[in-house]
């Protein structure tokens, strides 16, 4: 948990301990119909990897739209203590869609047919995420940018970059530029602030200074 908290990108992300929870998966052509009947809302996640909190038989469930086979399916995250009650209710409602448990071999058949690789078999440490076609699992929200600082004084590596009160990045290096007559810096910033000319605030301890986002090389 401590390592994950330290490794968080500049995002609105919360790390939670889910060791007392368990995940189930329901896949197949009728999965969406089943959850339309099960869930407490009509606003179900439909886009790949989106999620929402729903109630099923008065049990809180995190519902994640994710495909493990050829059709859209859902992963469910719920408390271990509520698992048996939740499964019993799903099995009862799912009878009209021929819901049934499947084993690992059946799951593997569907996975291979759908072309979904797994780590250790189809993917290794020598395989890039782009080569395996799994770049849908990541988002490149940050990008290296240049900054022209409104001061001749440099800021320290690690200085935070803000848009108003919102943290949007951090400085990685900063040096005075004799050519420009001011300090210049490199740092990672959210992609939606990459436009050259964007004004940001750099906070270095108790010192704050304005800066302007620049194209690279810094103009």
Domain final position from 51, 75, 101:
101
Q: Is the pLDDT of residue 11 over 60?
A: no
Question: Greatest CA separation found in the chain?
Answer: 75
Domain with 73 in it: what CATH number?
3.30.1360.120
**What whole-number distance in Å separates Cα of residue 193 and Cα of residue 35?**
39
**What whole-number distance in Å separates Cα of residue 175 and Cα of residue 182?**
9
**What whole-number distance in Å separates Cα of residue 16 and Cα of residue 13?**
10
Summarize pLDDT for 47-92 with one digit per residue, the tens. Answer: 888 899 999 999 999 999 988 887 889 999 999 999 999 999 999 9
Matching residue, tokens 């810094």: 218
Average pLDDT value for residue range 23-42:
89
According to DSSP, the residues that pair with 182 across neighbouring strands are: 177
Is the distance from CB of 202 to CB of 160 less than 8 angstroms? Answer: yes
In a domain? residue 116: no
Domain final position from 36, 68, 101:
101
In a domain? residue 107: no
Instruction: Provide the residue range defining the domain that includes 165.
Output: 142-214
Domain final position from 68, 101, 134:
101
Q: How many domains is the chain built from? A: 2
Tally of CA atoms within 13 A in the half-sphere of 91 that contains its CB: 8
Other beta carbons within 10 angstroms of residue 175's beta carbon come to 10
In this predicted structure, what is the pLDDT of residue 2? 61
| Prediction pTM value | 0.58
Summarize pLDDT for 82-106 with one digit per residue, the tens. Answer: 999 999 999 999 999 999 998 888 8
Q: Is the pLDDT of residue 185 over 80?
A: yes
In a domain? residue 122: no
In a domain? residue 189: yes
User: Do residues 86 and 148 share a domain?
Assistant: no
Strand order in the sheet with 59-65: 21-26, 74-79, 59-65, 51-56
- The share of the chain scoring above pLDDT 90, in percent, equals 59
Q: What angle separates helix 83-94 from helix 31-38, to the nearest 10 degrees?
A: 120
Domain with 171 in it: what CATH number?
2.40.30.110
In a domain? residue 68: yes
Summarize pLDDT for 108-146 with one digit per residue, the tens. Answer: 888 888 888 888 888 888 888 778 877 766 767 889 999
Q: Computed from CA positions of residues 115, 116, 122, 123, in that sequence, does the dihedral angle turn out positive or negative?
A: positive
Three-class SS state of 11: coil
Average pLDDT value for residue range 25-36:
91
In this predicted structure, what is the pLDDT of residue 12? 60
User: Do residues 86 and 172 share a domain?
Assistant: no
């Amino acid at each position: 948990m401590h390592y994950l908290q330290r490794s968080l990108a500049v995002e609105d992300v919360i790390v939670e301990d889910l060791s007392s929870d368990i995940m189930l998966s329901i896949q197949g052509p009728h999965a969406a119909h089943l959850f339309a009947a099960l869930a407490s809302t009509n606003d179900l996640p439909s886009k790949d990897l989106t999620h929402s909190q729903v109630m099923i038989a008065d049990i809180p469930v995190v519902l994640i739209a994710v495909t493990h086979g050829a059709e859209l399916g859902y992963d469910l995250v719920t408390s271990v203590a509520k698992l048996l009650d939740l499964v019993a209710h799903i099995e009862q409602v799912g009878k009209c869609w021929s819901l049934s448990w499947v084993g690992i071999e059946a799951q593997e058949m569907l996975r291979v047919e759908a072309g979904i690789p797994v780590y250790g078999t189809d993917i290794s440490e020598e395989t890039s995420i782009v080569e395996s076609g799994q770049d849908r699992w990541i988002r490149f929200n940050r990008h290296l940018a240049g900054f022209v600082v409104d001061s001749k004084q440099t800021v320290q590596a690690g200085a935070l970059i803000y848009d108003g009160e919102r943290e949007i990045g951090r400085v990685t290096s900063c040096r005075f530029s004799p050519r420009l007559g001011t300090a210049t810096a490199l740092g990672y910033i959210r992609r939606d602030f990459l436009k050259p000319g964007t004004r940001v605030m750099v906070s270095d301890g108790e010192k704050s200074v304005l800066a302007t986002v620049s194209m690279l090389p810094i103009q």
